[in-house]
Amino acid sequence: MDKSEAGQLIVQAYEAWDAEDWPTAAGLFERVLAHYPDTSKSPVWWYDAALAHKFLRNWGEGVRAGARGRRPGSAG
């Protein structure tokens, strides 16, 4: 995935976020994060993915994403 595609997916993730479409938002954040887990913006995306999972009451995934965002440079 190139940076342009990643940027488009992040825009779509925030559009889904604004529509409270939590499954789509979480999925799009995580799709980008699979390719860009440790950029300067990644902690924000990990956090937002974690919140989307929280809103879905998907606690395990929320904790995993939140923890991943706090530990840059480590594999999920």
Domains defined for the chain, CATH in brackets: 3-70 (1.25.40)
Q: What is the mean pLDDT of residues 2-13?
A: 97
pLDDT in tens, 24-66: 999 999 999 999 998 999 999 999 999 999 999 988 888 788 7
Nearest to 10 by CA among 38, 29, 37: 29
Structure tokens at 44: 């924000």
- More confident position, 67 or 29: 29
Q: DSSP letter at 38?
A: T
- More confident position, 74 or 22: 22
According to the model, what pLDDT value does residue 58 have?
A: 84
